């Protein structure tokens, strides 16, 4: 038989060589954002193809902005993105943990341990730690939640910015929380403005949109009433096809205009019959019926974005309809108040509906700073949601990871065979958080980790972590350095999943890409 290769035009890397290259790629990515972890972490300057710059130390922002080609590195980025979507924090920790797990796994592979054995040990470690997290977590109160949100913002901006962002985010989430403590983040709108300072940021109850009523004759504020949301407009219909009209009477055009005005007024009369007080349209509202709307006490807004209409529908328990003619009683929503306000010489429409909503106005001096403030609010809101819905927190400063590693080592003693080595390697890997925190603060990482482990063991406490101000072990609870349990839990899940996925790859096939001349159309050949 012919010995022609089956995989034609394909570069193949298999066995230990493939695993080594994959682990190197994962570790390289982890090293790229290692210096951003913690309150003493440094920033990254990102420059795109058009020369625009972005300064941030948000791990997922760095990873998603950078152009990465290696498929394993993309797997790591996906794990970080998942952490950001679910927990809103801990994105850097997830990548660092995964990189350390793979590095420790490689040392075991060099000793002759099969990757499948290591993967089984890692899975057992993950399952055991998910049970142990409940043992080190505790309920948070209102004051404690504020410190937790501040901890999530550590290293992002100055202390006064962290204070105001944490305070406003927690207030906004509390405004939209239901009676069962569930939170819909889509009911919180973030508006950005340049030209101020971060301390000028505010939070308002209700939904605020950069809109002004279409006529000054309309009421500026209405307390209580019904609202209609139109995914269209109130304007004259245009002819959809080319027509030729023979005009035989001089007043024919005027009769056309009168009929159009009559049809528009009929739509307004239909709104009046439903006792509508506020009208919001995605498209335009004809100028000729402005006064007619005002005469009937209807406050109208035009060119409202579809996304804002969807938010209004949630806030006012309304349904968006295509036209006034399609309107039914079930589509009508209710509001508590609808008013126009002026903020920094800009007009806004504030709606407080029967459903809870909140608006945060983020301010800063420049566009770059506003962008960083927006990212801080995004993280702070996500952390606040976890605190309201769950309420369980753990100590920061690496304390929770050391406490889990201590328990995991005792668990490893009960596991026979080579999987015990994998469990111990996993325990070593999750302690990397303390080492990186100390390293970024200019503290000896090995000594810091040993001191924290010794202090936790001697005091039999889960609250001892690294104090980056003194460089010594300290009680994180007394200093208010806390984080939601969900962040640590998701970081462990995400890091373990991506580490096991990479360990199970023993063959990489790269299809060769060759440049080809495009085929010309037949008429050009």
Active site residues: 58, 91-92, 379
345: region left, alpha or beta (phi > 0 left; psi from -120 to 50 alpha): left
Q: Do 208 and 348 touch, CB atoms closer than 8 A?
A: yes
CA 136, CA 430: separation in Å to the nearest integer?
16
Calculate the CA dihedral of residues 239, 245, 251, 255 and round it to 10 degrees: -30
Between strands 320-321 and 299-301, the pairing is unpaired
Pick from 400, 401, 426, 486: which is nearest to 126 by CA? 426
> For 68-181, where are the E strands, in sequence order?
138-139
Q: What is the DSSP letter of 305?
A: -
Helix/strand number for the chain, H first, E second? 16, 19
CA 232, CA 137: separation in Å to the nearest integer?
51
CA 203, CA 55: separation in Å to the nearest integer?
26
Q: ∠ CA(381), CA(383), CA(388), 5° rounding?
A: 90
Tokens of 170: 């927690």
Q: Do 117 and 418 touch, CB atoms closer than 8 A?
A: yes
At 57 the three-state DSSP class reads coil
Q: Taking the alpha carbons of 78, 83, 84, 85 in that order, is the dihedral positive or negative? A: positive
Pick from 264, 327, 318, 319: which is nearest to 296 by CA? 264
> For 285-364, where are the E strands, in sequence order?
299-301, 320-321, 333-343, 346-353, 358-364
CA 22, CA 182: separation in Å to the nearest integer?
41
- Which residues, listed in sequence order, are joined to residue 54 by a DSSP beta bridge? 46
- Which residues, listed in sequence order, are joined to residue 216 by a DSSP beta bridge? none
Q: Do 450 and 357 touch, CB atoms closer than 8 A?
A: no
> For 419-506, where are the E strands, in sequence order?
464-467, 472-475, 482-484
Give the burial class of 426: count Cβ atoms within 10 A of its Cβ; 0-12 exposed, 13-18 middle, 19 or more buried.
Answer: buried
Q: Taking the alpha carbons of 344, 347, 353, 358 in that order, is the dihedral positive or negative? A: negative
CA 381, CA 361: separation in Å to the nearest integer?
14
Pick from 402, 510, 413, 508: which is nearest to 458 by CA? 402
Q: Do 38 and 468 touch, CB atoms closer than 8 A?
A: yes
Pick from 127, 144, 57: which is nearest to 383 by CA? 144
């Amino acid at each position: 038989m012919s010995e022609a290769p089956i995989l034609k035009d394909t570069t193949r890397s298999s066995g230990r060589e493939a695993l080594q290259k994959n682990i190197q790629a994962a570790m390289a990515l982890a090293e790229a954002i290692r210096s951003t972890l913690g309150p003493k972490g440094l920033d990254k300057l990102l420059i795109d193809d058009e020369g625009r710059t972005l300064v941030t130390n948000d791990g997922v922002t760095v990873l998603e902005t950078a152009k990465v080609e290696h498929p394993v590195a993309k797997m790591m980025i996906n794990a970080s993105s998942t952490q950001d979507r679910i927990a809103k924090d801990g994105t850097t920790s997830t990548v660092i943990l995964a990189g350390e797990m793979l590095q420790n796994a490689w040392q075991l592979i060099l000793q002759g341990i099969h990757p499948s054995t290591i993967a089984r040990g890692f899975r057992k470690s993950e399952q055991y730690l998910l049970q142990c997290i409940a043992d080190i977590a505790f309920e948070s109160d209102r004051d404690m939640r504020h410190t937790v949100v501040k901890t999530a913002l550590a290293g992002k901006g100055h202390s006064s910015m962290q204070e105001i962002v944490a305070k406003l985010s927690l207030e906004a989430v509390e405004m939209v929380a239901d009676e069962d403590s569930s939170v819909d983040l889509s009911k919180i709108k973030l508006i950005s403005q340049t030209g101020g300072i971060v301390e000028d940021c505010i939070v308002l109850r209700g939904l605020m949109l950069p809109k002004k009523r279409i006529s000054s004759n309309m009421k500026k504020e209405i307390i209580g009433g019904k609202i209609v949301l139109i995914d269209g407009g109130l304007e004259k219909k245009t002819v959809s096809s080319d027509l030729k009209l023979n005009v035989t009477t001089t007043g024919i055009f005027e009769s056309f205009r009168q009929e159009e005005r009559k049809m528009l007024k009929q739509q307004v009369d239909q709104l009046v019959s439903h006792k509508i007080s506020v009208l919001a349209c995605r498209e335009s509202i004809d100028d000729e019926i402005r006064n007619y709307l005002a005469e009937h006490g209807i406050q109208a807004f035009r060119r409202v974005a579809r996304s804002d209409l969807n938010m209004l529908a949630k806030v006012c328990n309304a349904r968006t309809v295509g036209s006034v003619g399609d309107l039914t009683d079930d589509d009508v929503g209710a509001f508590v108040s609808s008013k126009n306000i002026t903020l920094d010489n800009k007009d806004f429409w504030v709606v407080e509906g029967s459903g809870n909503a909140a608006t945060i106005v983020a301010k800063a001096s420049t566009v770059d700073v506003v962008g960083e403030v927006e990212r801080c609010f995004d993280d702070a809101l996500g952390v606040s949601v976890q605190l309201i819905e769950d309420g369980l927190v753990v100590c920061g400063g690496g304390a929770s990871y050391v406490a889990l590693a201590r328990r995991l080592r005792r668990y490893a003693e009960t596991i026979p065979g080579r999987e015990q080595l994998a469990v111990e390697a996993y325990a070593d890997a999750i302690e990397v958080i303390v080492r990186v925190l100390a390293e970024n603060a200019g503290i000896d990482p090995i000594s810091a980790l040993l001191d924290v482990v010794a202090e936790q063991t001697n005091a039999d406490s889960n609250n001892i972590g690294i104090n980056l101000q003194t460089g010594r072990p300290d009680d994180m609870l007394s200093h208010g350095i806390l984080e939601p349990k969900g962040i640590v839990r998701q970081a462990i899940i995400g890091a373990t999943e991506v580490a096991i996925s990479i360990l199970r790859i023993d063959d990489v096939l790269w299809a060769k890409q060759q440049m080809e001349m495009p085929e010309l159309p037949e008429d050009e050949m």
